[in-house]
A and B are shown apart, each in its own frame.
Chain A
Amino acid sequence: MSKKNITVTDIILPIISVIIALGTAFIFHACGAKEDGSFMNCHWAERVVIGLGILMTFLSCAHLFTRSSQAKMGLNLSLAAVSVFTALVPGVIIKLCMMKDMRCHTVMRPAVTVLCAVMFVACIINIFIHNKKGSNQNVDQTAV
Chain B
Amino acid sequence: MLTKLPFKNLVKRPSRSAALIIISAFLSFSVFGGAMVLSSLRIGLGSLRSRLGADIIAVPDKAARQNDLEAILIQGRPGYFYMDKENLDKISRIEGIEAVSAQYYLASLSAGCCSMPVQVIGFDPETDFSVKPWIQKSYKKQFEEGDVFAGANINAEAGENLRFYGETCKVAAKLDKTGTELDNAVYADSATVKMLMAAAKKKGVGVLEKNDPEKLISSVLIKVKDGYDVSKVSDEINIHLRGVTAVKTQNMISGIAKSLSGISEITNMLMWAIRALALVIMAVAFSMVINERKREFAVLRVIGASRKRLAGIVLTESVIVGCLGGLAGVLTACVLIFPFGGLLEQKIGLPYLVPDLKTILLTAVSAGLVSMIAGPLTAAFSAVKTSRIDTGVTLNSN
B156 touching A114, Cβ below 8 Å: no
B153 touching A101, Cβ below 8 Å: yes
For chain B, residues 180 to 218, give those with C-beta under 8 angstroms from any C-beta of chain A. Answer: 183-184
Contacts A107-B343, A110-B343 known; list 8 others, CB within 8 Å. A40-B113, A97-B113, A97-B114, A98-B154, A98-B156, A102-B114, A106-B346, A117-B335
Asked if A95 is an interface residue, CB under 8 A from chain B, the answer is yes
Chain A interface SS verdict (over half): loop
Q: What's the minimum C-beta distance from A76 to chain B, rounded to whole angstroms?
A: 22
Asked if A140 is an interface residue, CB under 8 A from chain B, the answer is no
Q: Which of chain A's residues have a CB closer than 8 A to the CB of B162?
A: 98
Which 10 pairs between the two chains have the least Cβ-Cβ distance?
A110-B339, A106-B342, A100-B153, A34-B115, A106-B343, A97-B114, A98-B114, A40-B113, A98-B155, A110-B340
Asked if A32 is an interface residue, CB under 8 A from chain B, the answer is yes
Asked if B33 is an interface residue, CB under 8 A from chain A, the answer is no
Q: What's the minimum C-beta distance from B342 to chain A, rounded to whole angstroms?
A: 4
Asked if B76 is an interface residue, CB under 8 A from chain A, the answer is yes
Q: Which of chain A's residues have a CB closer than 8 A to the CB of B183?
A: 100
* Chain B interface size range: 20 to 34
A36 and B132 alpha carbons, distance in the complex (Å): 36
Asked if B168 is an interface residue, CB under 8 A from chain A, the answer is no
Q: Which of chain B's residues have a CB closer than 8 A to the CB of A117?
A: 335
Contact with B along A23-39 (1 / 0, CB 8 A): 00000000111110000
A114 and B333 alpha carbons, distance in the complex (Å): 12
Q: Which of chain B's residues have a CB closer than 8 A to the CB of A111?
A: 339
Q: Which residues of B contact A (CB under 8 A)?
A: 76, 110-116, 118, 152-156, 162, 183-184, 335, 339-340, 342-343, 345-346
Q: What's the minimum C-beta distance from B344 to chain A, rounded to whole angstroms?
A: 9
Q: What's the minimum C-beta distance from B22 to chain A, rounded to whole angstroms?
A: 15
A98 touching B112, Cβ below 8 Å: yes
B116 interface neighbour in A96, A99, A107, A114, Cβ under 8 Å: A99
Q: Which of chain B's residues have a CB closer than 8 A to the CB of A102?
A: 114, 116
Given known A98-B155, A101-B346, A106-B343, contact A40–B76 (CB-CB < 8 A): no
A113 interface neighbour in B110, B112, B155, B339, Cβ under 8 Å: B339
Among residues of A, the one whose C-beta sits closest to the C-beta of B186 is A98
21 pairs of residues in contact across A and B, judged by CB atoms under 8 Å: A40-B113, A40-B114, A41-B113, A97-B113, A97-B155, A98-B111, A98-B112, A99-B116, A99-B118, A99-B184, A100-B153, A100-B155, A100-B184, A101-B345, A102-B116, A105-B155, A107-B340, A107-B343, A109-B339, A113-B339, A117-B335
Contact with B along A86-108 (1 / 0, CB 8 A): 00000000011111111001110
A33 touching B343, Cβ below 8 Å: no
B110 touching A34, Cβ below 8 Å: yes
B118 touching A98, Cβ below 8 Å: yes
Among residues of A, the one whose C-beta sits closest to the C-beta of B154 is A98
B342 touching A33, Cβ below 8 Å: no
Q: What's the minimum C-beta distance from A97 to chain B, rounded to whole angstroms?
A: 5
Given known A32-B115, A34-B110, A41-B113, contact A101–B342 (CB-CB < 8 A): yes
Q: What's the minimum C-beta distance from A31 to chain B, rounded to whole angstroms?
A: 7
B114 touching A99, Cβ below 8 Å: yes
Q: What's the minimum C-beta distance from B48 to chain A, rounded to whole angstroms?
A: 16
Q: Which of chain B's residues have a CB closer than 8 A to the CB of A107?
A: 340, 343
Q: Which of chain B's residues have a CB closer than 8 A to the CB of A97?
A: 113-114, 116, 155
